[in-house]
Amino acid sequence: MTQDEFSIPNSETVSPTDIHSNTDLSGADLTDANLRGADLSDAKLFSTDLTGADLTDADLTGAILPAANLSNVNFSDANLTDADLSYANLSGADLSDADLTDTTLSNANLLGVGEVDFSDATEVPGEFIDLEQRQTEDIRADMRGSVTALTTELTEGRYEHDLERLTEVESEARAIADYAEELASRHREMEHSEDASE
């Protein structure tokens, strides 16, 4: 859409010419606005009300939207890279295929957003972090702890003459190495499938 085609039905102070990069629309009423494909990169949208707005394919790279009302906004295919959505209300928003790379979601309301990949976003509320991602992070933390413990045991020579414990350490070290190899293989497969899809 061109700038002239943007629709802002509920504001007497904001016009389509105000929709551009680096704009400051903090506190504005943009409810039900049609802003498909809008360039709002680096825009300041503090506490802006965008309830029900259509931001499909919009560029919100680096936009600042703390405490904005983004409920039921259509963000499908939008670019939210480096955007700050702290304390924003995103309940019921459509984030399908949106780019959330380094998007800050600290204390955001994400109820009803459906299945969204938040793995590239930052400060995501805990209950919305992907379970598999959380389990992987926990496993990696356990692995780091295990490696540290084994290294300490060996460097201190604590079990130098305890063949049984040394055999156990060898087995544990192999298990850690096997799992690390599995994780690395899985990561390479994911990268390969992403490259292939491009």
Q: What angle do CA 52, 44, 11 make, to 5 degrees?
A: 45
Q: State the pLDDT at residue 131.
A: 41
CATH of segment(s) 1-129: 2.160.20.80
What is the DSSP annotation of 58-121?
Answer: -B-TT-B-TT-B-TT-B-TT-B-TT-B-TT-B-TT-B-TT-B-TT-B-TT-B-TT--S---TTS
Closest CA to 125 of 92, 70, 93, 88: 88
**What pTM, to 2 d.p., does this model score?**
0.63
Q: State the pLDDT at residue 162.
A: 65
Binned at pLDDT 50, 70 and 90, residue 111 comes out as: confident
Gap between the Cα atoms of 133 and 186, Å rounded: 13
Distance (Å) of CA 108 to CA 71, 93, 112, 113, 114: 11, 12, 12, 11, 15
Residue 138: helix, strand or coil by DSSP? helix
| Burial of 9: CB neighbours in 10 Å, binned 0-12, 13-18, 19+ | exposed
Q: What is the mean pLDDT of residues 30-49?
A: 96
Q: Could you report the per-residue pLDDT of 125-138, keeping only the tens digit for each? A: 655 554 445 444 54
Q: Mean pLDDT of all residues in the chain?
A: 80
Check whether 143 has a pLDDT greater than 80. no
Q: What is the mean pLDDT of residues 80-102?
A: 93
| Share above pLDDT 90 across residues of the chain, in percent, rounded to a whole number | 48
Q: State the pLDDT at residue 166.
A: 64
Q: 136, 115 in Cβ contact below 8 A?
A: no
Residue located via tokens 């979601």: 105
Check whether 57 has a pLDDT greater than 60. yes
Q: State the pLDDT at residue 132.
A: 44
